[in-house]
Chains A and B, each alone.
Chain A
Amino acid sequence: MPETWWQLGAAGLPSGQPWVQWQWVHRHPAIIYHALREHVVLTGLAVGIGLAIALPLGVLAWRWRRLETPVLGFTGAIYTVPSLALFALLIPVTGLSRTTSEIGLVGYTLLILVRNILTGLEGVPAEVRDAAAGMGFSPLRQLIRVELPIALPAIVAGVRIATVTTIGLVTVTALIGQGGLGQLINDGLVNDFRTKVVVGTVLSVALAAVIDAALVGAERLATPWDRARAREG
């Protein structure tokens, strides 16, 4: 009977480990904190840089319709590549480094952000744009004072999705030496230590939930007119 991958591991790894050894958690808050911090930094950098690239890209694609398909096509193509493969394509160029991780992570945010920026801008009513033009706003002023603020809810929705997605993807960067909470999960795998896997997973989910809620709150603060309209309506 030929050896097959299926037969490997049929009996499983030694169990009998508790899902969480609280003793370890109490003794090593520094390790947990360090992983969490790296995770937040990697995520923040990726979404921040992604937004900085996506905003001009989105605005350009909105101004010149002809650009929309190539821009969405390009960012969409990146998005379809599985994360490990995308990092792997970069390794010969930028090595096993934070740069490799960030280039990949930023790439993945682009489609979500550009798409939502486009949706948001396309949702600006024509009358509003006409009114602004009629008041003598230059196109740039119009963009900054009128169009982008109106598009803000859609953009924030995009940032939310991009952030939660990135938090998940950061764990994969553990395989190229970074990882944040993914490093905890990977250590748990490599050293057969269940506690680290659980802590890494739970914190990833918690981080995503907290940041998502924070972004919803930030959006509400930034768009008081939406609240006013909701109160009236």
Chain B
Amino acid sequence: MALLAVAMMAGACGSSSSKSKASGTVASQLVMGGPPECATRSTCLAGLEQIYGLHFKDFKPLDAGGPLTKTALKNGDIQVARLFTSDEAISIDNFVVLNDDKHFQLAGNIVPVIRTAKATSDVKSVLNKVSKALTTADLMNLNKSLDIDKQEPVDVAAKYVKDKGLAGSATGGSKGSITIGSANFSENEMLADVYADALKGAGYSVSVKAKLGSREVVEPALESGQIDLVPEYAGNYLSFLDTTVGALALDQTVSKLQALAATKGLTVLDASPASDADAIAVAKATADKYHLSKISDLGKSA
């Protein structure tokens, strides 16, 4: 295994970046993990640096709140993780979600975003009906089926739609066609399938382009018309379109989002009570060790 040590030593060079000016803080002793796009997002690492003034020891690109990140957090390979608030692992694995005291995260309520050209009043009412029925508790249960029971998003969605009676029984797709896209995590895939089933049951012909990628990939596809509809998250989407926006109440978030989206030919529909925001989480042991309950605690001296 001496050879592995060689490979390891190579990895050991330069453990901190030039940005690590705030040494001596709790954060400077911790490694953060999240999806690769986290590094540049104002709702993720970039925001933590700018708004909270936090500089971590290192950042590991892993996945979007998926098994790689969660396992790394459990194993202590990373100490801080970007997860999702609707993740069932938070309660099951005893992670502690740090309170966003400086409000750099906006409301994570689910909103369907659809190209205005396809947003007929019938389509809107079908979609809004679904959004209204979704709750955060539902999301957690659905995520459990996806992550732990390894069920397919399309099956989980079909069952949910059936149980909640969200779809009519129309077939044939005569009312028109819609293409739905989803991002590269299973909750979003499942939501896309839920909306798809509802629209199909209402008589539309629906095709789903799943797992397109991160929002950085999905959003341009929506703007260019490759897809017509995406299940989005109000706050994150707004931050993505306007990185300067600060914390806002839900209704302000949605109305700002609607205004911005309209300039791109997109319509933002009603926000669902179900919310899934980014969560900055640590393992319970880390929270106890450094007395962490809110994000700014990471900026205290260690």
Chain A residues within 8 Å of B, Cβ to Cβ: 2-11, 13-14, 21, 24, 28, 31, 96, 177, 190-193, 195
User: What CA separation (Å) do A191 and B156 show in the bound complex?
Assistant: 15
**Pick the contact of A2 from B12, B63, B72, B217 — CB < 8 Å?**
B12
User: What CA separation (Å) do A192 and B67 show in the bound complex?
Assistant: 6
**Pick the contact of A7 from B57, B77, B213 — CB < 8 Å?**
B77
- Which residue, B150, B186, B211, has most C-beta atoms of chain A within 10 A? B150
**Pick the contact of B11 from A4, A11, A96, A191 — CB < 8 Å?**
A4
Q: When the two chains form their complex, are residues A4 and B150 in contact, meaning their CB atoms are under 8 A apart?
A: no
Q: When the two chains form their complex, are residues A9 and B152 in contact, meaning their CB atoms are under 8 A apart?
A: no
Interface residues of B, count at CB 8 A: 30
Known: A3-B58, A192-B67. A11 touches B213 (CB 8 A): no
Contact of B18 with A by CB under 8 A: no
Contact of B212 with A by CB under 8 A: yes
Q: When the two chains form their complex, are residues A10 and B217 in contact, meaning their CB atoms are under 8 A apart?
A: no
Q: When the two chains form their complex, are residues B150 and A21 in contact, meaning their CB atoms are under 8 A apart?
A: yes
- Inter-chain contacts of A96 with B (CB < 8 A): 213, 217
Closest to B146 in A: A191
- Inter-chain contacts of B186 with A (CB < 8 A): 191
Known: A190-B63, A191-B67, A191-B186. A8 touches B15 (CB 8 A): no
Contact of B66 with A by CB under 8 A: yes
Contact of B7 with A by CB under 8 A: yes
B204 to chain A, nearest CB (A): 21
User: What CA separation (Å) do A195 and B63 show in the bound complex?
Assistant: 20
A4 to chain B, nearest CB (A): 4
- Inter-chain contacts of A21 with B (CB < 8 A): 150
A-B pairs with the 4 shortest C-beta distances?
A2-B15, A192-B67, A6-B8, A4-B11
Q: When the two chains form their complex, are residues B66 and A190 in contact, meaning their CB atoms are under 8 A apart?
A: yes
Closest to A13 in B: B71
- Inter-chain contacts of A5 with B (CB < 8 A): 8, 11
For window 138-196 of chain B, which residues contact chain A by CB distance below 8 Å? 146-147, 150, 152, 184, 186
Known: A2-B15, A21-B150, A193-B150. A177 touches B60 (CB 8 A): no
* Apart from A3-B58, A5-B11, A8-B72: 12 A-B pairs, beta carbons within 8 A: A4-B8, A4-B15, A6-B8, A7-B8, A7-B77, A9-B77, A10-B77, A11-B75, A177-B211, A177-B213, A191-B146, A192-B67
Known: A2-B12, A177-B213, A190-B66. A8 touches B150 (CB 8 A): no
A112 to chain B, nearest CB (A): 31
- Inter-chain contacts of A191 with B (CB < 8 A): 66-67, 146-147, 150, 186
Q: When the two chains form their complex, are residues B31 and A3 in contact, meaning their CB atoms are under 8 A apart?
A: yes
Contact of B2 with A by CB under 8 A: no
User: What CA separation (Å) do A232 and B247 show in the bound complex?
Assistant: 86
**Pick the contact of B184 from A24, A28, A190, A192 — CB < 8 Å?**
A190
User: What CA separation (Å) do A63 and B58 show in the bound complex?
Assistant: 58
Contact of B4 with A by CB under 8 A: yes
Closest to B185 in A: A190
Q: List 22 A-B contacts (CB under 8 A).
A: A3-B15, A3-B57, A4-B8, A4-B12, A4-B15, A6-B11, A7-B8, A7-B77, A8-B60, A10-B77, A13-B67, A13-B68, A14-B71, A21-B150, A24-B150, A31-B152, A190-B67, A191-B67, A191-B147, A192-B66, A192-B68, A193-B150
User: What CA separation (Å) do A21 and B57 show in the bound complex?
Assistant: 40
Known: A3-B31, A190-B184. A10 touches B57 (CB 8 A): no
User: What CA separation (Å) do A7 and B78 show in the bound complex?
Assistant: 10
